[in-house]
Amino acid sequence: MSKPLFIKLLLLVIVFAVVPFALEGLGKGYYYQIATLAFVFMLLAASLHLVTGVAGLLHLGHASLYGVGAYVAALLGSKYGIGFTYGLPLAGIGAAFVAFLVALPTMRLMSIYFAVATLGIGQMLFLVFQNWVDVTNGPNGVMLFDGIDLFGYAINSELGIYYVVAVVAAVSILILNRLSHSYYGNALRSLREDDQCTAAMGINVTVMKIQAFVISAFFAGIAGALWAYTTGYISPNDFNFSQSILILTMVVVGGLGSLPGVLIGALLLILLPEVLRYFGDIRNIIVGLLMFGAILFLPKGLFGEVNALNFARRILGSAWSEDNSEKGIGWK
Amino acid sequence: MKLSRRTLLALTVASVMLPAASQAADSIKIGYQLPLTGNTAQYGQDFKDAAEIALAKFNASGQIPVPVEIIYEDSRSDAKEGVTIARKFVDDKEIVGVLGDFTSTVSMAAAQVYKRSGMVQLSQTASHPDFAKISEWQFRNITTQNQEGGVNAKWMIDQGIKKVAVIAEQTDWGQSVVKGFVDPFKEMGGEVVYTEFFNRGLADFRSIITKIEEQKPEAIYTGFFYEDGAQFLKQVAQLNAGIPVYSTSAAYNDKLIELAGAAAEGLKLTATFLPTRADANVTEFVTEWKKTHDNAPGQFPAQAYDAVNIMLAAVVKAYPDVTRQSLRDAVAATKDFPGVTGNTSFDENGEPLKELTKATVKDGVFVEVK
């Protein structure tokens, strides 16, 4: 058996046998909740990985697309009686559609301008959730009374819900993995390294960016539906800017361009605050210090392909460059 | 610092060597989820301080032979964490009831867990109109805007005010402020000439105030907290609008006067807690609070203090058979509980019925209006 195959099998055994067995043995809803949350955020981080890690686009509004998915699933479920079976793919499609619309005018932007545009998209969608009261219920949020219902079978047990979330997340992450390690993924990587060179080689950069952005939004939408169905209540604050930053941090800590790294980054940032609960009020400071240390001593993240500091310097610095005129340096 | 569950676990292990530590097993446990860190930590820390005062007093009183213990968990006002904590509390068979959370968002997300598992949840502040309706397990100790709006509407009508402009922050609570006031006010024959929502933290209210002035209302009814309130009142004064402003108990905070200065003069509002009120409970709470704080307690810690006391009174009522079900029934049966925020009863939905005090700002202090 080849080594990669062995690792994959081992992971499958862990996710679908060891972890559920351990969770059943512990019999605590608390651990199930953390496991579910970890899957949702691993999927979110993996979907952002495609845009930020592989294609090298600094995306600051990912949580809002996650929110679109959650809202689509919750509103379809609570207002139109469309359950999980169809709600899940529709949440993905809804998020992808919104992403497509906002991508059209913004994807021609480069580097820091792109980052600012996605920041704007995130803020805009958040304000839509917050202020479009007739549809989204505004700040009152949406309550979803139905549980997960798969092709007519109601899934109520903790173990059942775990398996649904784990399967959906695992399949999505597998697809994202195939995408990022394919010919297509390499084209995205070339975009990250040098977009002008990529364009010169005949690759349509704008189309590639839109595709990556939309695919990533689709999976963020799926994650949103999982969150809506496992919590039963969503409101705009669940999808604000700080959540976008949290997801971005997972990608950076894990390592730009490495999917296993990103997944471990997500696990770390979900589990660490829980493990550190023992320390009381200073637990967030500890998490912050660890992240600071990570970026200082592991600028490539845990398994990254790219140095995050150099990446940031390139993205943020490209608008600021040396200028040989009298002024010396200045904005382009 | 109070014991968390993990420390307790560690203590249980340690109790093999230290017999004294095993006493904790006999106590009755209540969970309290609240933001001890993050953006809203200042509120959570106040709740914790108020709860500690109430608990220390209760355990010293010896009303029941075993001590009650409160286990605090930090939710950071994040729904993810709130739900996780709720699952954690539900898992712990010794925890019989829960207090919190602070924001409606987190309280409502956590409420889904308490509803499924059957655990009484009493929030000191969750103001979402649907919170108490989620199930028979949810209660709150904050007056709803249906109640405050009605009192304010009647107050204005009594003063001969018929034309009013209404503004409120764009939150679940702000929505309920507008609805709770506009419906009864119209019923009493009043007219609402202008309604607007603003996003929290708005720095410039001038355009809103100008639009309000165009409509020539006789008063402005407002739903804001003290930060926005101070900003709004200052700009009303700057623009010399000269329109009386009415508000809710959320604006009741000494910091409002501190920030708005003379502009706060004449503000009218309904409140449930006045630290200056001549009442033995209020005096006791304020004295205890001032031992560790520079200022008198505001409305929120007072609500937390009462919420904890209501829960503790319910524990006494249910004792010795304190289960999640019996505690829930005891909380539901709360009637005319004499707290620092007035006498409290719960209606069949778990909504509190309280007496409201009318107050106004005069010479830089809140005073009761008779």
Q: Write the pLDDT tens digit of every residue in B206-248.
A: 999 999 999 999 999 999 988 899 999 999 999 988 899 999 9
Which tops the pLDDT comparison, B97 or B12? B97
Question: In chain A, which stretches have pLDDT less than 50?
Answer: 330-332
Question: pLDDT value at position B15?
Answer: 41
Which DSSP symbol is given to B57? Answer: H
Any idea where the domains of chain B sit in the sequence? Answer: 5-142+280-353, 145-271
* CA distance linking residue B52 with residue B44, whole number of Å: 12
pLDDT digits (tens, 9 = 90+) for B39-66: 888 889 999 999 999 999 999 998 999 9
Asked if pLDDT for residue B16 goes beyond 70, the answer is: no
Structure tokens at A203: 């690759």
pLDDT at A315: 67
State whether residue A80 sits within 8 Å of chain B by CB.
Answer: no
What confidence tens digit (pLDDT) does each residue in B151-160 have? 999 999 999 9
DSSP H helical ranges for chain B: 5-14, 41-61, 79-91, 104-117, 145-158, 172-187, 206-214, 226-238, 254-260, 280-292, 299-318, 324-332
Q: In terms of CATH architecture, what is B145-271?
A: 3-Layer(aba) Sandwich (3.40)
Specify the DSSP class assigned to residue A16.
I
A111-131 and A62-79 are packed helices; what angle lies between their axes, rounded to 10 degrees?
A: 30
Q: What is the DSSP letter of B296?
A: P
pLDDT band at B6 (very low <50, low <70, confident <90, very high): low
Residues of chain B in Cβ contact (below 8 Å) with chain A: 1, 4, 6-7, 36-38, 73-74, 76, 79-81, 83-84, 87-88, 90-91, 103-105, 108-109, 111-113, 117, 128-130, 134, 170-175, 197, 199
Task: Give the C-alpha separation, B87 to A188, whole Å.
Answer: 41
Is residue B142's pLDDT more than 90?
no
Among A166-175, B5-14, B25-34, B198-207, the range scoring the smallest mean pLDDT is B5-14
Enter the tokens of residue B343.
């006498």
Question: What fold characterizes domain B5-142+280-353?
Answer: Rossmann fold (3.40.50)
Helix (H, G, I), strand (E, B) or coil at A303: coil
Q: How far is B41 from chain A (nearest CA, A)?
A: 10
User: Distance between CA atoms of A54 and A212, rounded to whole angstroms?
Assistant: 9
| Cα(A144)–Cα(A129) distance, integer angstroms | 16
Interface test with A, best of B84, B93, B102 (most A CBs within 10 A): B84
Name chain A contacts of B128, Cβ cutoff 8 Å: 140-141
Q: How far is CA B333 from the centre of its chain?
A: 20
Shortest CB distance from A34 goes to which of B4, B84, B103?
B84
Residue B91 to chain A, least CA–CA distance (Å):
6
Give the distance from residue A76's alpha carbon to the nearest chain B alpha carbon, in angstroms. 19
Instruction: Kindly indicate whether the ipTM for this predicted assembly is greater than 0.85, answering yes or no.
Output: no
Whether the per-residue pLDDT at B305 is higher than 90: the answer is yes
Q: What is the pLDDT of residue B13?
A: 43
Domain edges within chain A: 3-240
